Amino acid sequence: MDPVGSASGLGVAGRHTLLERAGVRAAGLALVLLCAIVTINVVSRWLWHALIPDDILLVSELMLVVILGPIALVTAEREHIAVTVFTQRFVEGQAGQGRWGQGARRFCDGLGYLAGIAFFGFLLAAFWTLLAKSWRTGEYYDGLLNIPQWPGLAFATLAVAGVIGRLVYLLAATLGGRAENA
């Protein structure tokens, strides 16, 4: 399955929003740039001296994109690391025979989505506060390039907002009984 090249849309496996696909593409591009920066600097230091100034800052900002870029798509595909103690023991039971049935599964899924919305809500509030402060004050990283802080914070804010949007959609689909198609 090629999630990046899939048609746009919500609720169908293999289909993702523009924000989710753009995040994956940005992460891929950032990874290529990150590798190029590291390779060029390692080789140039070996031959003479580092050619790219502020390489550590550039790599740290690109790592933010690599990590947070695909997170909304990962949420859409439900591929986060999950602890399934409750769902396996009480919902699915032995040999697929659930003790509580699909209602309990929807309850556990909904509870997980609510916890995710709360957690990412705190992250969104923190990133938003940092972004607003960075934008107002014009903060930048010390170094030769004077890299502004707001672009990385803006990307992180957008990525976390995308995750919350997807979690809200999944919660609504679960509460509406459409959890299998969400």
pLDDT digits (tens, 9 = 90+) for 126-138: 999 999 999 999 9
Name the more confident of 99 and 76: 76
| Average pLDDT of span 70-96 | 74
Identity at 28, one-letter amino acid code: G
Integer Cα distance of 150 and 163 in angstroms = 20
List the beta bridge partners of residue 121: none
Give the mean pLDDT of the chain: 84
Domain assignment present for residue 38? The answer is yes
| Average pLDDT of span 156-163 | 95
Domain assignment present for residue 143? The answer is yes
% of the chain exceeding 90 in pLDDT: 55
Radius of gyration, alpha carbons of the chain = 21
Integer Cα distance of 37 and 150 in angstroms = 21
Name the more confident of 7 and 19: 19
- pTM of the full predicted structure? 0.80
In this predicted structure, what is the pLDDT of residue 90?
Answer: 62
Structural domain range at position 53: 18-175
- From the list 167, 1, 162, the residue with the least C-alpha distance to 68 is 162
Domain assignment present for residue 73? The answer is yes
In this predicted structure, what is the pLDDT of residue 17?
Answer: 84
Is the pLDDT assigned to residue 174 strictly greater than 60?
Answer: yes
Domain assignment present for residue 1? The answer is no
| Average pLDDT of span 132-161 | 94
In this predicted structure, what is the pLDDT of residue 5?
Answer: 45
Domain assignment present for residue 113? The answer is yes
Domain assignment present for residue 68? The answer is yes
Q: How many domains does the chain have?
A: 1
In this predicted structure, what is the pLDDT of residue 108?
Answer: 82
Confidence of residue 170 (pLDDT cuts 50, 70, 90): very high
Domain assignment present for residue 4? The answer is no
Domain assignment present for residue 30? The answer is yes
In this predicted structure, what is the pLDDT of residue 104?
Answer: 76
Is the pLDDT assigned to residue 53 strictly greater than 80?
Answer: yes
Identity at 139, one-letter amino acid code: E
| Average pLDDT of span 8-29 | 75
In this predicted structure, what is the pLDDT of residue 131?
Answer: 97
